[in-house]
Structure 1
């Protein structure tokens, strides 16, 4: 129980919750690390408690079924632990099915060390469909309540997140963006004739880029345009209000795809939960965000920068910072500390509090 009380003390310093809820949150986070699954019964089996597993399971159900969680408070704690001065944001959706039920999440995250950390999210009521402009705006309002617009360097998003009303709202709120444009999207060419984006840049060879330093009209909004054809032949067309380094900046958008992979099969198996109601899933996402960030911060503290990790024969990191941090935390929690590590639970907790 020492680990629970220590983590609870760190959480209590930032969350104005009742002590019983703080203790529960600490227990759930530590159990989530041990179980590596969001299946609530498996989490209950790993609770550090003298109670029976069935009792812990009922306690978990009471939390998700009966208590409210302020997601703004969770977002502030995530930003405190992250400890950044400037922010690059990524927006994307992830979805999965449980039985015949679609769970469809719109997420905004902060890009950091090759991955991104979720800070705001909403469970869309529709099935696996795209988000609406109003849903994106409502979510970004929550983000701006956490991070002032002047501290946001870029908002990165894929081809789904386009449209005149959306572009105009971002501009009105002084948010710089790098948004990918579909290849079939109409853009004013150099002679003023409307052409599809794919046609305008079909001359690009593998690895080539092109930036237009004069604005073109896209969805009735004037934007700078840039394009790059990847080594595998994928054409990426980006629209933005600020042309400098737009293609290189946009490449960080992949970090949110990495996040979703870590929340799913490569990490905490979010699909294994049997919950589908948005209110319950929002609480689970909050706990996952805190635990995921702890893994990342621990990995960064122990192993350094993500771009300095050893590479395999395919020139990719042998292990991500998330996986290294997760394994380190689980090793300390499950198997105690290896002598070769010389790492204690207090060390891993300190990396949060000192940020």
Structure 2
């Protein structure tokens, strides 16, 4: 199978990159899917089999991978890789999810604040930054993340889902100004006084009491309010916590959406998908915490490759996951869940038929063609 004609079909989606760069990118993606790690020192052992050169010294493969990061970490390849993955989804999602994941490695703190799209029940990263610190993000750091993301993606009209860390009057105003709707969980008692001052009807405490008195397991109550006299109209939703292991009995949500309280709670529950995403990128999947590139820009490029590998696995898994993977029960409570994750099912499907680079390139070209046939995204800027 001739690689060059196939690679030429991918290069338009990775502007200003030659076929050698695309080849090394796809080798990295294959190695990550095979080894399920981001540690370059471990990925090197997969390269010989992928390119069908088992006689080549493993150290030579390691040098090849390191050269890729040295050559391209300072350019814009990383964002084109992310956008290429999003083409597989057609950016077909109304919902965004924001959260952070932090860990310590070699005495250095990493804190990846990550923006995802929620696509067919899974969260897939589209933009991130490493705050390189322990603790929560600031409003200024979040705004900086979104200002940069908006240079590449049209986020207006989407709904941001986020947990209690991501609150703040200035933050709410910023999102409204950017025409991004939101459903964000509030810390208990954070805005009770302001909400009661600038709204009518029941107090927040009375709303909580009514929700908890109800015999309905999904009881939710909402009312409109403002955080200042001239502020935009928002809605507070009080609901019983639907999570059986939740620490609190109730949830307080703040939203810009004028809809039923039940619809707001249903929207918010999609946020939990980003926690599944972090588990797959870390301990249950690519072992992101073992990232061993010291340079910030190289880590950014590596993260983009991980996201592409993750996206490919999910898109492939979604093709038949519902019907092909059986359910199983676990524990005394008999909790029912799928026997293997969507992520692992997708990897298994890919590696069954694409064990060498030419096969994988042909597969990826087919996926790009399928996703982009008659399609031009109005949500990926400059695509």
TM range (shorter): 0.7 to 0.9
1:324 aligned to 328, 345, 368, which one?
A: 345
Deviation per CA, 1:5-38, whole angstroms, max 9, x where unpaired?
A: 6874553231021222111101111111111111
| Unpaired segments ≥5 residues, structure 2 | 330-334, 372-383
Counting only pairs closer than 5 Å after superposition, residues 4-153 of structure 1 correspond to structure 2 as 8-9=7-8, 11-16=10-15, 17-47=17-47, 48-49=50-51, 50=53, 51-67=56-72, 68-70=74-76, 71-125=78-132, 127-150=133-156, 152-153=157-158
Question: What is the TM-score normalised by the length of structure 1?
Answer: 0.85
- Do residues 283 (structure 1) and 298 (structure 2) align? no
Matches of 1:23 and 1:252, distance apart in 2: 36
Of residues 204-213 and 4-13 in structure 1, the stretch that sits farther from structure 2 once superposed is: 4-13
Which residue of the other structure, out of 230, 241, 266, is the alignment partner of 2:241?
A: 230
In structure 2, the residue corresponding to 1:146 is in which secondary structure? coil
For residues 236 and 149 of structure 1, do their structure 2 counterparts lie closer, same or farther at Cα, with a shift above 3 Å needed? same
For residues 32 and 10 of structure 1, do their structure 2 counterparts lie closer, same or farther at Cα, with a shift above 3 Å needed? Answer: farther
Unaligned runs of 5+ in 1: 337-342
How many angstroms apart in 2 are the aligned matches of 1:7 and 1:40?
A: 26
- In the TM superposition, what is the alpha-carbon distance from 1:298 to its structure 2 partner? 0.6
Deviation, 1:270, is 1.0
- Check 1:198–1:54 CA distance in 2 against 1; reply closer, same or farther (3 A cut): farther
Relative contact order (alpha carbons < 8 A, sep ≥ 6): 1 or 2 greater?
2
Decide whether the 8 Å contact of 1:116 with 1:255 is kept in 2: yes
1:143-182 alignment, distance < 5 Å: 143-150=149-156, 152-182=157-187
Contact 1:162 1:181 in 2 (8 A): yes
Residue by residue, what CA displacement relative to the aligned partner does 1:157-178 show, whole Å, maximum 9, x if unpaired? 1111111111111111111011
Q: 1:66 to 1:345 in 2, by over 3 A?
A: closer
Partner of 1:340: none
Aligned CA distance change for structure 1 residues 72 and 38 (closer, same or farther; 3 Å): closer
Corresponding residue for residue 215 of structure 1: 225
State whether residues 186 and 196 of structure 1, in contact with CA within 8 Å, keep that contact through their aligned partners in structure 2: no
Between the aligned partners of 2:309 and 2:3, the Cα distance in structure 1 is 14
Measured after TM superposition, the shift of residue 76 of structure 1 is 2.3
Deviations 1:257-292 (A, max 9, x none): 111111011111111222243212111110011110
Compared with structure 1, are the counterparts of its residues 52 and 196 closer, same or farther at alpha carbon in structure 2 (3 Å cutoff)?
Answer: farther
SS in 2 for 1:316: strand
Task: Find out whether 1:257 has 2:278 as its counterpart.
Answer: no
| Contact 1:183 1:198 (8 Å CA) reproduced | no
C-alpha distance in 2, partners of 1:4/1:269? 30
Change in CA separation of 1:190 and 1:54 when aligned onto 2, cut-off 3 Å: closer
- Cα drift, residue 87 of structure 1: 2.8
- SS state of the match for residue 86, structure 2? helix
In 1, distance between residues paired with 2:31 and 2:186? 42
Q: Which residue of 1 aligns with 2:370?
A: 354
Q: CA deviation at 1:62?
A: 2.4
RMSD: 3.2
* Structure 1 counterpart SS, 2:257: coil
- C-alpha change, 1:38 and 1:5, in structure 2 (3 Å) is farther
Distance (Å, rounded) in 1 between the aligned partners of 2:277 and 2:149 = 18
> How far apart, in 1, do the equivalents of 2:361 and 2:106 lie?
39
Conserved? CA contact 2:139–2:171, under 8 Å = yes
* Higher mean C-alpha deviation, range 310-319 or range 115-124: 310-319
Is the contact between residue 98 and residue 274 of structure 1 (CA under 8 Å) also seen in structure 2? Answer: no
TM-score (norm 2): 0.79
